[in-house]
Amino acid sequence: MKFYKIIFFNTMIFGTFMTISAMSWFSMWMGLEINLLSIIPLMKSNKNLFPSEASIKYFITQTMASTIILLSIIINLNMEEFTPLNSQLFSNLMINSSLLTKMGAAPFHYWFPEVMEGLNWNTCLIMLIWQKIAPMMILMNNLNMTIFLSMIIIISALISSIIGLNQTSLRKIMTYSSINHIGWMLGSMLQSSSIWMLYFLTYSVISINIILIFNTYSIFSINQLLMVLNFSKMMKIMFSLNFLSLGGIPPFLGFLPKWFTINYLIKNNFYLLSAILIVLTLITLYFYIRVMFSIITIYSYENITYKKTYSMFFIMAFNLVSLSMLVLCTFFFNF
C-alpha cells in the first residue's frame, strides 16, 4: 500500500471519530469534511473501474449535502430571526435530508450505485460500512421527525427491493442491499441506539464476509460466480449461507438484529411499518436466492485439484465463525 493512502485512511477514520464525538454542530461539520476530503484520494486508484468519474460524483453529492448541513446550522443559530418561517421544522428537515443523502438512503440514493460501480471491492467496503457511521450517529442524536423517517424507511425498502431485481452487477446488488439495510437501521434507530449498534455490527460482519470472497477471486458480476466458485463445494456453501444470513433467514446471524428491530417496532405500535419492511425484504431475499441458485443448482464441471491458498483458509474460518454466531449465542447466553 502506498504511503499517501495510509495517511488519508487514518485521516478518514479521524474525521469520523471527530464527528461522532463533537460537542457542537460546527465541529461535527468539520469532521464530515475531513472524512470527505480523505476518501477522495482513496478512490483515485488504478484498480478502480472508473476512478475519476466515481470520485467526482461522490465529491459533488457529498459537498452539496455538507453545504445544506452548514446552512441548516446557520438557521438554527439564528433562530429568532427566522421565527415566521417555522424555521425549527425547516432546518430539521434540511439537516435530516442531507444526512440521508450522505449515507445513501432512498430517495436520496441516486449517486450511490453509480459511485459503487466505479470502485474496487476494498473501497466499496469502506463506502458500504465506514461512511455510514458518522451521518447515522448524527441522525440518532437528531431524531425528532418520526413520520418523515418512517416514510424514508418505506421508500428505502421499496426502491432497493424493486430496482435490485434488475441487476446483474454484484456491486449494484450489494448497493441496493445496503439501501434496504439502511431502512432497517433507521427503524432500529427509532427504538434504541443499542439495537442500531447490534444491527450495524452484524451487517458489517456479513458484508465483510461476502466482499472478502468477491475481492479474493475478483468477482464483479453474477456470470463470473459460476466460473470462479467451481473449485470448492465448501466455498459455494459458505458463500450461499452468507447471502441467506444477509437476508435475515432465522438460523443465521443476520436474523438476530431484524428480530430485535421487529420486536421493538411492534412494542411501540409501529405495526404497519414493520409489516411493510418484512414484505419488501422478502423481495430482496428473492434476488439473494437468485444469486445463490446460479452457483448451486446449475450443473458445472468442478476441478479435482486446486492449489490451496492461505487466504482461502482465512475466508473459511471467518465465515464459519460468523455464520455459527447465532447458534453459539443461544448456547452461551439466555436471550
Over the stretch 119-164, which tens digit does the pLDDT of each residue have? 999 999 999 999 999 999 999 988 888 899 999 999 999 999 999 9
**Quick check: 17 pLDDT over 70?**
yes
Q: Name the nearest CA neighbour of 244 among 311, 277, 293, 187.
A: 293
Query: Can you tell me the distance from the alpha carbon of 92 to that of 144, in angstroms, rounded to the nearest whole number?
Result: 8
Q: What is the pLDDT confidence band of residue 45, given thresholds at 50, 70 and 90?
A: confident
Residue 98 has what pLDDT?
Answer: 94
pLDDT-derived band of residue 300, with 50, 70 and 90 as boundaries? low
C-alpha pair distances (Å), 76 with each of 17, 65, 72, 79: 24, 17, 6, 5
Q: In the predicted model, what is the mean pLDDT of residues 169-176? A: 94
Q: How far is CA 131 from its chain centroid?
A: 9
Q: Is 307 exposed, middle or buried (0-12, 13-18, 19+ CB in 10 A)?
A: exposed
Query: Can you read off the three cell numbers belonging to residue 271?
Result: 405495526
pLDDT by residue (tens digit) across 228-254? 777 777 788 888 889 999 999 888 889
Split at pLDDT 50, 70, 90, the class of 310 is: very low
Closest CA to 186 of 63, 104, 243: 104
Cell 473501497 belongs to 123
- Residue 161 near residue 290, CB atoms below 8 Å: no
Tell me the sheet residues that pair with 169.
221
Return the minimum-mean-pLDDT range out of 110-119, 171-180, 276-285, 294-303: 294-303
CB 172 within 8 A of CB 117: yes
pLDDT at residue 330 above 70?
no
Query: Of 44, 96, 36, 84, which is closest to residue 62 (Cα–Cα)?
Result: 36
Neighbours of 144 (CB within 10 A): 10
Residue 35 in this model has a pLDDT that exceeds 90: yes
With b for 16 or more beta-carbon neighbours within 10 A and e for fewer, the 230-258 pattern comes to bbbeebbebbbbbbbbbbbbeebbbbbbb
Bridge partner residues of 221 (DSSP): 169
The mean pLDDT of 272-292, rounded to a whole number, is 92
Three-state secondary-structure class, residue 221:
strand
Q: At 333, phi and psi to the nearest 5?
A: -125, 155
> Model-level pTM?
0.91
Window from 58-72, 164-178, 216-230, 243-257 with minimum mean pLDDT: 216-230
Quick check: 8 pLDDT over 90?
Answer: yes
How confident is the model at residue 80, as a pLDDT?
A: 63
Of 204-213, 220-229, 235-244, the range with the lowest mean pLDDT is 220-229
pLDDT score of 334 more than 70: no
Question: Which residue type occupies 23?
Answer: M
Residue 94: CB partners within 8 Å, gap ≥ 6?
A: 68, 69, 71, 72, 75
Nearest Cα neighbor of 66 from 85, 40, 45 is: 40
